[in-house]
Amino acid sequence: MNNSRRSSSGQFVQHRLYTINRSGSGEAFYILLTPDHNDVLTYQIKTEHWKATKDISHFGVAIVNNFLYIIGGFNVATAKHVKRVVRFDPDDGTWKDVKPLPIARAKFATAVLDGKILILGGEESNGKVLSSCEMYDPEQNEWTEAPPLVSPRANHMCVVHHNEIYCAGGYYGNKSHRNIWTYEGRRWEDLGRPYPHQLPESLDRFAMTTVGRHLYFIGGVVCTMDNQEKKLKFVTHRRIFSYTTSVSAMSRPEVVEEEEDDTDDEKPVLVSEFISPWNLALPNMSYGRHSHGVATVGTRIFVMGGSLLETGQQVRIVEVFDTEKGEWEEDFRFRKGDVSNVTCAILEVPYKQEETRVNERLKWILW
Q: What is the pLDDT of residue 185?
A: 73
CA torsion through residues 130, 131, 137, 140, sign: negative
How confident is residue 252, by pLDDT bands cut at 50, 70 and 90?
low
Q: Do residues 333 and 43 touch, judged by C-beta distance below 8 A?
A: no
Higher-scoring residue by pLDDT: 109, 191: 109
What is residue 259's predicted lDDT score, i.e. its pLDDT? 46
Q: What is the pTM for the complete model shown?
A: 0.86
Above 70 in pLDDT, residue 98?
Answer: yes
CATH number among 2.120.10.80, 2.60.40.3500, 3.40.50.1980, 3.40.120.10, domain 11-255+267-366:
2.120.10.80
pLDDT digits (tens, 9 = 90+) for 35-57: 999 999 999 999 999 999 999 99
> What mean pLDDT, rounded, does the chain reach?
88
For the stretch 272-315, pLDDT in tens is 555 788 999 999 999 999 999 999 999 999 999 999 999 999 99
pLDDT band for 361, please (50, 70, 90 cuts).
Answer: very low
d(CA 166, CA 213): 13
Cβ-in-10-Å burial (0-12, 13-18, 19+) of 32 comes to middle
Please give the pLDDT value at position 199: 94
For the chain, the helix, strand and coil percentages under 3-state DSSP, each to the nearest 5? 5, 55, 40
Is 357's pLDDT higher than 80? Answer: no
Task: Tell me if the bond preceding 194 is cis, omega within 30° of 0.
Answer: yes
pLDDT given for residue 156 in this prediction: 98
The amino acid at residue 145 is E
DSSP 8-state assignment for residue 357: H
pLDDT of residue 6: 41
pLDDT confidence tier of residue 322, bands split at 50, 70 and 90: very high
C-alpha distances out from residue 99 to 30, 70, 86, 132, 335, Å: 28, 12, 8, 18, 37
SS3 216: strand
| pLDDT number for residue 132 | 97
d(CA 320, CA 324): 12
| Calculated CA dihedral for residues 83, 343, 49, 135, nearest 10 degrees | -30
Please, is 293 exposed, middle or buried when counting C-beta atoms within 10 Å of its C-beta (0-12, 13-18, 19+)? buried
Measured CA to CA, the distance from residue 332 to residue 339 in angstroms comes to 13
Residue 364 has pLDDT above 70, yes or no: no
List the chain domain ranges: 11-255+267-366
Query: Cβ atoms within 10 A of the Cβ of 27, count?
Result: 20
Question: How many C-beta atoms lie closer than 10 Å to residue 315's C-beta?
Answer: 26
* Per-residue three-class SS string for 66-126: CEEEEECCEECCCCEECCCEEEEECCCCEEEEECCCCCCEECCEEEEECCEEEEEEEEECC
Pairing, β 74-75 against β 221-226? unpaired
Q: What confidence tens digit (pLDDT) does each residue in 181-240 have?
A: 999 778 899 886 656 689 999 999 999 999 999 999 999 999 988 777 778 899 999 999
Mean pLDDT within 106-121: 97
For range 318-339, the mean pLDDT:
97
- Average pLDDT on 255-282 reads 64
- Does residue 4 have a pLDDT over 80? no
Determine the Cα–Cα distance for residues 193 and 40; give it in Å rounded to an integer: 40
Cα–Cα distance, 171 to 176 (Å, whole number) = 4
